[in-house]
Amino acid sequence: MSNIQIQSQKNNIPVIARRIKRELIDMLKIGIFTDESDVTIIKNDENFHIIFKNIKDNRIYKFIIPLNYPFRPPKLEINYRPYSYYLRFQSEKFREIFNKYKSRTCFCCDSLLCCDNWGPQIKLSNVIDEVDNYYKQCREIADRVIIKVIKRKYLIDNINILEWLY
């Protein structure tokens, strides 16, 4: 992983390049991507762009890291859509169900990429873990909706199918 090269338009690479490289090496060790050829790092005048495909979930991640990283959070795109798109509820019904089961009103307030929740100790791998958790929570809500329909149509109400599944 020490072969990671940072393509830059300038000769002076900021100190954050070392941290980014170290974080990428850690992500390689935990198996987020298989080898360094899976990662593209580009630096322009304002940001670093890190693009890679996560082999665990088959999603394409693009981190847009500002030059004052780690004191400011990076921006994230998943499959070429901003992460904020995924944090918004797509329907009011989903919002109601999420609020009922999770006792929270939104995902964005808990996101690590929110400026209020970000800190220099947070790494890119923590953000990827958050994305995985987000998808699990969405899947759990969808499962609850499906289970409710199945119980209503086919089962006796006193059977706790959720305990059996989880």
Domain covering 7-165, topology: Ubiquitin Conjugating Enzyme (3.10.110)
Residues 84, 60: contact at Cβ < 8 Å?
Answer: no
Query: How confident is residue 65, by pLDDT bands cut at 50, 70 and 90?
Result: very high
Task: Identify the weakest region by mean pLDDT among 35-44, 56-65, 99-108.
Answer: 99-108
Give domain limits for the chain: 7-165
Structure tokens at 2: 């020490």
Structure tokens at 142: 């969808």
b/e for 20-31, b at 16 or more Cβ within 10 A? bbebbeebbeee
pTM, full prediction: 0.78
Q: What is the pLDDT of residue 9?
A: 46
Q: What is the pLDDT of residue 157?
A: 64
For residue 14, is the peptide bond before it cis, meaning its omega torsion is within 30 degrees of 0?
Answer: no
Beta bridge partners of 75: 64
Question: 17 or 126: whose pLDDT is higher?
Answer: 126
Residue 41 has pLDDT above 60, yes or no: yes
Q: What is the DSSP letter of 46?
A: S
Chain center to CA of 43: 22
Residue type, 127: V
Q: What is the DSSP letter of 10?
A: S
Structure tokens at 68: 């004052």
